[in-house]
């Protein structure tokens, strides 16, 4: 008998803690290495920083970051929180998990 997966896509918004921008940039490469397995497995569909305004140029230091957004695949909010808790942005005090927001997400269209 075949089983059906109960995993769904979720839209996740993770605010940064005040004053954490320098730490965010300092550990960014470690963060990107840490999320690579989620990307490779297809669990994290997309992600990136939420910006306060459009950047003046392409230099990361010009970004005014408010937090992060992720579209991921999971069975529950609890599963997502367990993934987030393992991230260096949590360990180093960048992400504010007390204010994280998560919603089930249905993608209407997706471009390559």
Residue 88 lies inside a defined structural domain of this protein? yes
The answer to the question of residue 3 being in a domain is no
How many Å is the Cα radius of gyration of the chain?
Answer: 15
112 is a domain residue: no
Of the chain, the percentage scoring pLDDT greater than 90 comes to: 81
The mean pLDDT value for 8-18 works out to: 98
Q: What average pLDDT does the structure give for the chain?
A: 93
Domain count, the chain: 1
Q: Return the minimum-mean-pLDDT range out of 3-7, 66-70, 102-106.
A: 3-7
- Check residue 5 and give its pLDDT: 64
Residue 13 within any structural domain of the chain? yes
The residue-averaged pLDDT of 55-84 equals 93
Helix (H, G, I), strand (E, B) or coil at 84: helix
Domain holding 100, by residue range, is 8-53+72-105
Range list of H helices, 1-112: 21-41, 77-85, 88-91
Q: Is residue 80 part of a domain?
A: yes
User: Any idea what the CATH number is for the domain that residue 15 is in?
Assistant: 3.30.70.1060
């Amino acid at each position: 008998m075949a089983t059906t997966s109960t995993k769904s896509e979720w839209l996740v918004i993770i605010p940064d803690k005040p004053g954490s921008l320098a730490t965010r940039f300092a550990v960014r490469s470690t963060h990107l290495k840490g999320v690579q397995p989620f990307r490779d497995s297809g669990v994290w569909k997309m992600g990136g920083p939420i910006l306060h305004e459009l950047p003046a140029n392409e230099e990361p230091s010009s970004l005014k970051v408010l937090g992060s957004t992720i579209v991921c695949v999971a069975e529950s909010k609890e599963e997502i929180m367990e993934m987030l808790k393992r991230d260096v942005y949590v360990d180093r005090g960048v992400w504010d998990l007390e204010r994280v927001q998560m919603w089930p997400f249905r993608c209407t269209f997706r471009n390559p």
